[in-house]
Amino acid sequence: MASPSTFTTLALCFLMTTAVSFANKFNDEFDIIWGNDHAKYLDNGETVTLTLDSVTGSGFQSKSEFLYGKIDMQIKLVPGDSAGTVTAYYLKSEGTSWDEVDFEFLGNVSGDPYTMHTNVYCQGKGDREQQFHLWFDPTTDFHKYSILWNPKTIIFSVDDIAVREFKNMEFKGIPFPKSQPMRLYSSIWNADDWATRGGQVKTDWSKAPFITSYRNFSSDACVLSGGYNSCGSWMATKNWFSEVLDIQSREKMESVQNNFMIYNYCTDYQRFPQGLPQECYVSGP
């Protein structure tokens, strides 16, 4: 874990790089798909809240399906004792061999740090978890969580700081999400069988309702309407279509991983006694 001085230096450095995100109205872009009365549009549709209580959780999904793009969302997580709760924010395709790109925020006992859980599924197979503690309190203000997805890479970012990259390594026979369009989803739900300290701490329903807030959704992505080929000419005009991490961004990502990563599947030899997944052995830019 980082020292207080390291924490402060990193936080100040990261804050100076935060960019502005332009918002789309939630009620134009999303449908409530779960717990209708537990989801509320606020500020003329520019903000939405999702609520979990002992009755139900809630969630939404994008009206559109995306094939490659940059997705941003500002989120403020459940404050106080949120043990047992999970706020999920992810891209996912349909079908039994689905692709998926996950952020999940695992609740905590008051005073403990949130765990930010990330994962990538390719053709229905995940098991690619990396987890982090954040360098700020994600419950006191909104912070931006972003996914860049292009044919070369998937980059997870927090406040415009890359925290994880999953490269396209099909040249090594490793599947990569590339042809299945994905919708954006978010939900809040009870997972006290595993979410907090491995399920040791249960949800305290006397602290309910648990509320997560969202604003400033923005997307620069191909909205799929006519199959994969309908996106080709559009994507070719976008700088992010071939974007990869530059040296400075990679150094910041490595700093985050060195100081705030708490789990990496690529170092879990106990979990993979027959050998780590193949992508864990591939290096390079």
Please pick, among 46, 100, 165, 170, the residue that the annotation labels catalytic.
100
pTM as predicted: 0.88
pLDDT band at 230 (very low <50, low <70, confident <90, very high): low
- Asked if pLDDT for residue 19 goes beyond 60, the answer is no
Please state whether beta strands 39-42 and 30-34 pair in parallel, antiparallel, or not at all (unpaired): unpaired
Mean pLDDT, rounded, for 9-34: 58
Please pick, among 29, 46, 65, 104, the residue that the annotation labels catalytic.
104
Confirm if 133 and 263 have CB atoms less than 8 A apart.
Answer: no
Mean pLDDT, rounded, for 213-241: 77
Q: What pLDDT is attached to residue 12?
A: 36
- Asked if pLDDT for residue 241 goes beyond 70, the answer is yes
Q: What pLDDT is attached to residue 24?
A: 57
Q: What pLDDT is attached to residue 236?
A: 73
Domain count across the chain: 1
The secondary structure of 208-222 as a DSSP string is: PPEEEEEEEEEEEEE
Q: What pLDDT is attached to residue 225?
A: 63
Return the higher-pLDDT residue of 64 and 145.
Answer: 145
pLDDT band at 238 (very low <50, low <70, confident <90, very high): confident
- Asked if pLDDT for residue 10 goes beyond 70, the answer is no
Q: What pLDDT is attached to residue 198?
A: 84
| Sign of the CA dihedral running 102, 221, 33, 134 | positive
Rg of the Cα trace of the chain?
19
Q: Which of 91-95, 124-128, 185-189, 278-282 has the least mean pLDDT?
A: 278-282
233-236: Cβ within 8 A, 24+ apart: 235/68, 235/150
Q: What's the CATH code of the domain at 67?
A: 2.60.120.200
Q: What pLDDT is attached to residue 15?
A: 34
Task: Return d(Cα 75, Cα 248) in angstroms, integer.
Answer: 26
65 is catalytic: no
Q: What pLDDT is attached to residue 3?
A: 46
- Asked if pLDDT for residue 209 goes beyond 90, the answer is yes
Q: What pLDDT is attached to residue 264?
A: 97
165 is catalytic: no
Domain with 100 in it: 4-281
pLDDT band at 78 (very low <50, low <70, confident <90, very high): very high
Q: Which of 39-43, 120-124, 209-213 has the least mean pLDDT?
A: 39-43
